[in-house]
Amino acid sequence: MSSIFSPLTKNVGIDLGTCTTQVYVEGRGVVLSEPSLIATDERNKKVIAVGNAAAGLLAKSPETVKVHKPLLNGVIADYNVTRTMLGYLLSKSVRSVQRLRIIVGVPSAASNVEKRAVLEAVFQAGAKEAYLMETAAAAAIGSNLPIFEPLGNMVIDMGGGTTSIATLSLGGIAVAKSVHLGGLDLDAAIKEYLREKYDVVTGDSTVEEIKVRIGSAVLPLEDQPYYFTGRGLDDGLLKEVAVKSSEIYQVIAKPLYRILELVRNVLRETPPELSADVMEHGIVLTGGGALLHGLDKLFSQELRVPVMIGANPELAVVTGIGKALMSREKLPALVEGAQHIYRRRF
């Protein structure tokens, strides 16, 4: 039986995210981080741009161009489009897509059907072997948590469409949960608020910019205004609006408290000896959402546990998959189950 550690095959890690796809290549590290987007010409269905290039076409493309977002809540929403996007991004990352052994991160709540769709897409994109790994476990490894020690470790990975939470110890997952809530839900709440309060329709990139610039998970000390242009609901004309950070703080509190409730559930289900370690050593926040101002402070205040932002939080999952690819003797435990259920050779 050929081993997962065969030297003939190139090991590649992929974080196939709702907002961003990242690729790690053995020996080179993270080689690609681009939006999970693909643009097609609707007249002949040909691909005209992928990743960063497709992002440049968002909101500015003519009607004949469609920009697809093939992932939703961390799982594949459009299989064919995902497969094509992955093929392009992989060929940009490695010289040859022959002999690739790929590990992909998936949220713990992904169903078997969703997991199989991810594996199929990876095989179709060129993988010879493919494995799955839970996003939160990868994020913990990518943040250098001592998950192989007899210690309770906890990580919260907040992405665009999904938040994954897990406690880990002795190289395994003690409790893991994920919820279809992430940065995009904060954007949706802001968009809805601006529509109701200021009667404007606001573009997705403007809404995200508002969140990144003045969004805060805790009451901001300075109530900064942010000026933007939206389209008036009544007359369709462009309108300048000033929104304040205190308003955004109130708007995003609801989805953030729903995530907090899930974190509490994971803590409740974690065996007491492991949660005692978490209380002492704290929780690590990863994913793009970890960069939201004050998120660590909010979680720390509400949970009464130290909360730290991981190093390079937005790269934690793909870095963790990369490290798992390298820690050969420990890998089987980390992808436990996936090897037996999902391993397939062509």
Site size with ligand ATP, rule: CB under 6 A: 23
Applying the rule CB under 6 A, the residues between 262 and 291 that interact with ligand ATP are: 287-289, 291
**Which one, 4 or 155, has the nearer CB to ligand ATP?**
155
Minimum Å gap between C-beta 284 and ligand ATP is 14
Q: Which tokens belong to 12?
A: 């590649």
189-196, Cβ contacts within 8 angstroms, sequence gap of 24 or more? 189/251, 189/252, 189/254, 189/255, 190/215, 190/248, 190/251, 190/252, 193/247, 193/251, 194/230, 194/241, 194/243, 195/233
**Residue 4, C-beta contacts closer than 8 angstroms, at least 6 positions apart:** 101, 129, 131, 331, 332, 339
Minimum Å gap between C-beta 20 and ligand ATP is 4
Neighbour tally for 64: CB within 10 Å: 11
Positions at the binding site for ATP: 160-162, 208-211, 288-291
**Which one, 187 or 277, has the nearer CB to ligand ATP?**
187
Positions at the binding site: 160-162, 208-211, 288-291
**Using the rule CB under 6 A, is 19 a contact of ligand ATP?**
yes
**Using the rule CB under 6 A, is 208 a contact of ligand ATP?**
yes
**Which one, 87 or 255, has the nearer CB to ligand ATP?**
255
Q: Which ranges of 49-203 would DSSP assign to H, the alpha helix?
A: 52-55, 79-93, 112-124, 135-142, 183-198
**Which one, 4 or 76, has the nearer CB to ligand ATP?**
76
Please choose, from the candidates 69, 71, 44, the residue with its C-alpha nearest in 3D space to the C-alpha of residue 55.
Answer: 69
Applying the rule CB under 6 A, the residues between 286 and 315 that interact with ligand ATP are: 287-289, 291-292, 314
* E-strand stretches of the chain: 10-16, 20-25, 29-35, 38-41, 46-50, 65-68, 71-72, 75-76, 100-106, 127-134, 153-158, 163-169, 172-179, 200-201, 225-232, 238-244, 283-286, 307-309
Minimum Å gap between C-beta 340 and ligand ATP is 25
Q: Which of 13, 142, 152, 183 binds ligand ATP (CB under 6 A)?
A: 183
Q: Which of 11, 162, 216, 300 binds ligand ATP (CB under 6 A)?
A: 162
**Which one, 28 or 213, has the nearer CB to ligand ATP?**
213
The dihedral formed by the CA atoms of 188, 180, 167 and 212, expressed in degrees to the nearest 10: -20
Minimum Å gap between C-beta 344 and ligand ATP is 24
Minimum Å gap between C-beta 185 and ligand ATP is 8
Q: Which of 9, 11, 18, 108 binds ligand ATP (CB under 6 A)?
A: 18
| Region of residue 197 (left: phi > 0; alpha: psi -120 to 50; beta: else) | alpha
**Which one, 129 or 314, has the nearer CB to ligand ATP?**
314
| Listed ranges 12-20, 42-50, 115-123, 267-275: which one lies at the site for ligand ATP (CB under 6 A) | 12-20
- Residues binding ligand ATP (CB under 6 A): 15, 17-20, 74, 159-162, 182-184, 208, 211-212, 215, 287-289, 291-292, 314
